[in-house]
A and B are shown apart, each in its own frame.
Chain A
Amino acid sequence: MKLWAAAALMTLPVAVNSEVLLSENEIQQTLSFGPWPPTYQPDPSNRVSSDSRAITLGAALFNYPGLSVDGAFSCASCHDPEQAFTTSEARALGRVPLNRNTPSLRNLAGLRWYGWGGKSDNLWAASLHPIIEEQEMAHSNESLKTAISESSYVADFESIFGNIRNQDPELVLVNTAKSLSAYLETLRTERTQFDSFRDALERGDLLAAATYPEAAQRGLKLFLGRGKCAFCHNGPAFSNNEFHDAGVPYFLSETEVDEGRFGGLNFLFSSAYTLDGEWNDDSAKIGSWAVRSVRRRHSDFGTFRTPSLRGVAETPPYMHDGSLIDLDAVVRHYSELDTERLHADGEAILSELSLSEQEIADLVVFLETLSYVTWP
């Protein structure tokens, strides 16, 4: 059933010929993508979550080159605030070229998993690992303690965490990561044209809803229906935060593969920094069920975390390896999906969509309306 904004035809010239193209069922599905922004609770696993002093310190440390062992780069070098907290390179450049695209850092509060392979179950662990990764910032616990102690931020650090000299180097590492996490929790994408549309539908204001571009509505209908996108890209963040094989090659070379979730789980289970570990500040260990209950399967090989689509138009290139240069290429990837590349025991509903040029354009327009900046 189409719901016509008939009143607009009589009173508002701007809305002439505009209509809400969605069926009742599609409207109900659309409502599930909001409201935006959601409300977040402080992270109980991080005692300085939502602490304004920790947020300020975390923001400063995010831009501090001393977080890398030789002062060569800061977090912001790869997660550039001017580029939606990522960069335009296909793959991240640490001390050496890395294997994956740099993810944006917005809307990270409260997720179940972090990283393309989900090797962390909390944001402070996800903030911690790059500091000590040899190919990234390459600190040891000791060298990081020295760097913080000798930095201009030591007074702020000690006002939150106490005298740094009395802290074990590993505690300094965790405290530094929890400050960074407190800052990262504050990074959100703005409301978008899509949110105005979604909220108008919720209010039953079809006149307002009908101002959402028809091309975007057609794209949304494909997103919900034949495109099958909403099976994985669901909820207010447009992600189920789980792991899937999207048919993107995971061979790094003829002899090397990106293990994806398989490797992420191996890392997770050997990590001291999970919600089930001793560094969790929450005695109830809320959320630790996931690391205890998650299953390991061979089909995890080469699967990657479903990225949020909030702000997606601002963060090209795409996919875990940055191999698709723009949204048009992403939609064409699914339109021409090579099902031979998919796991034999993986997701069975993926198939070549064979979209028309008009349908590809419509889906791109819809995806663009999920960003604060939209293009005509």
Chain B
Amino acid sequence: MDSQTPNAPEVYVDVREIPLAQPFSILISVCTEATVHEVRVDAIMPAHQHGLNYLPEVSALDEGMFRVDDLLFHMPGQWKLQADVDFSRRSVSYTSEITLK
């Protein structure tokens, strides 16, 4: 995932399959030695000026891994996935663009 913050730790998103208008899950991995206190995930459709109809649920796994459930893209098109990662002294925002046909 991309971030505008200088020296932001690398964050990767593992997306296997995204069914249109059906719930799906993703994995987010944060590559850092620092403690990650919280990860919040959301998504928007910039061209449509709306976001998700459901609040995703984030669960911490081991070693900087987080599972995100209850994501649902209810329209085809370009979505911008957003992840806000809270480290001990700062919060860093990441985005990743996903096009759903």
A→B interface (CB under 8 Å) = 28-29, 32, 230-232, 234-235, 240-243, 289-290, 293-295, 299, 345-349
Q: A231-B77, A290-B54 are in contact. List 16 more A-B contacts (CB 8 A).
A: A32-B20, A231-B48, A234-B21, A234-B76, A235-B21, A240-B74, A241-B21, A289-B57, A290-B23, A293-B56, A293-B57, A294-B54, A295-B55, A345-B49, A347-B48, A348-B50
Residue in contact with B76 in the complex, picked from A230, A345, A346, A347, CB distance below 8 Å: A230
**Are A348 and B48 interface neighbours, CB within 8 A?**
yes
Q: Which residue of B lies closest to A347 (CB)?
A: B48
B→A interface (CB under 8 Å) = 20-21, 23, 47-50, 52-57, 69-70, 74-77, 101
Report B-chain residues with C-beta under 8 Å of the C-beta of A29. Answer: 101
**How many inter-chain residue pairs (CB < 8 Å) link A and B?**
55
Report B-chain residues with C-beta under 8 Å of the C-beta of A241. Answer: 21
Known contacts being A240-B75, A289-B69, A295-B55, is A346 close to B50, with CB within 8 Å?
yes
* Complex CA–CA separation, A349 to B78 (angstroms): 13
Report A-chain residues with C-beta under 8 Å of the C-beta of B21. Answer: 234-235, 240-242
Report A-chain residues with C-beta under 8 Å of the C-beta of B75. Answer: 231-232, 234, 240
Report A-chain residues with C-beta under 8 Å of the C-beta of B20. Answer: 32, 234-235, 240
**Are B53 and A295 interface neighbours, CB within 8 A?**
yes
Q: Whole-angstrom distance from the CB of B48 to the nearest CB of chain A?
A: 5
**Residue of A240, A289, A294 most packed against chain B (CB within 10 A):** A240
Q: Which residue of B lies closest to A287 (CB)?
A: B23
Report A-chain residues with C-beta under 8 Å of the C-beta of B77. Answer: 231
Q: What are 8 A-to-B residue pairs whose CB atoms are below 8 Å?
A: A234-B20, A290-B23, A293-B57, A293-B70, A294-B53, A294-B55, A295-B52, A348-B49
* Complex CA–CA separation, A346 to B45 (angstroms): 12
* Complex CA–CA separation, A234 to B73 (angstroms): 12
Q: Whole-angstrom distance from the CB of A7 to the nearest CB of chain B?
A: 30
